Structure 1
Amino acid sequence: MPVFRNLAAGRSIARRAASVALAAAALVTGGMVGAPGAQAATGGYVALGDSYSAGVGSGSYISSSGSCYRSTLAYPYLWQQAHAPSSFSFVACSGATTSTVLSSQISALNSSTAEVSITVGGNDVAFASTMQTCVLSGTSDCLSAVSAAENVANTQLAAKLDAVYSAIRSHAPNAHVVVLDYPHLYQVPGSCLLGISDTSRSAIDGAADVLDSVISREAARYGFSFGDVRSVFAGHEICSGGSQWLHSTTLPTYESYHPTAAGQSGGYLSVFTARA
Structure 2
Amino acid sequence: MAKKSGGGGCLVVLLVLGLLGFGYYKWQHGSSSAPPDGADTGGGTGRYVALGDSYTSSPRTGRQAGTPAGCERSDDNYPHLVSAKLKPATFADVSCSGATTASLTAAQKTSNGTNPPQLDAVTTKTTLVTLGIGGNDVGFLQLASSCATTNSSGSPCKDRLTAGGRDQLAERIDAAAPKVGAILDRIHTKAPQAKVVVVGYPTVLPDGDGCWPSLPVGAGDVAYFREALGKLNKMLEDQADGHRAGYADTATPGKGHDVCSAAGTRWVEGVLPASPAAPLHPNARGEQGMADAVLALLKLP
1:172 to 191, 194, 198: 191
Contact 2:198 2:245 in 1 (8 A): yes
The aligned counterpart of 2:125 is 112
The aligned counterpart of 2:9 is none
Higher Cα Rg: structure 1 or 2? Answer: 1
Secondary structure class of the residue paired with 1:135: coil
Q: Separation in 1 of the partners of 2:262 and 2:287?
A: 18
The aligned counterpart of 2:53 is 50
Aligned residue pairs total 243
Secondary structure class of the residue paired with 1:93: coil
Q: Offset of 1:232 from its aligned partner? A: 0.9
The one-letter amino acid paired with 2:105 is L
Q: Offset of 1:192 from its aligned partner? A: 2.5
The aligned counterpart of 2:39 is 15
Q: Separation in 2 of the partners of 1:136 and 1:58?
A: 29
The aligned counterpart of 1:28 is none
Normalised TM-score (structure 1): 0.80
The one-letter amino acid paired with 1:67 is G
Q: Separation in 1 of the partners of 2:64 and 2:147?
A: 28
Q: Offset of 1:126 from its aligned partner? A: 0.6
Q: Which one has more relative contact order, counting CA pairs under 8 Å at least 6 apart?
A: 2
1:83 to 83, 86, 102: 86
Q: Separation in 1 of the partners of 2:101 and 2:244?
A: 19
2:146 to 129, 133, 142: 133
Q: Separation in 1 of the partners of 2:270 and 2:60?
A: 10
Contact 1:109 1:172 in 2 (8 A): yes
Secondary structure class of the residue paired with 1:179: strand
Taking only the aligned residue pairs, the percentage that are identical comes to: 28
The aligned counterpart of 1:121 is 134
The aligned counterpart of 2:286 is 263
Contact 1:54 1:71 in 2 (8 A): yes
The aligned counterpart of 1:211 is 232
Q: Separation in 2 of the partners of 1:63 and 1:226?
A: 26
- CA RMSD across the alignment: 2.5
The one-letter amino acid paired with 2:285 is A
Q: Offset of 1:107 from its aligned partner? A: 1.0
Q: Offset of 1:141 from its aligned partner? A: 3.0
Gaps in structure 2 of 5+ consecutive residues: 1-34, 107-116
Q: Separation in 1 of the partners of 2:272 and 2:145?
A: 13
Q: Separation in 2 of the partners of 1:59 and 1:250?
A: 18
Stretch moving more, 62-71 or 204-213: 62-71
The aligned counterpart of 1:33 is none
Q: Separation in 1 of the partners of 2:282 and 2:244?
A: 27
Contact 1:185 1:204 in 2 (8 A): no
Contact 1:191 1:240 in 2 (8 A): no
Q: Separation in 2 of the partners of 1:182 and 1:127?
A: 14
The one-letter amino acid paired with 1:246 is V
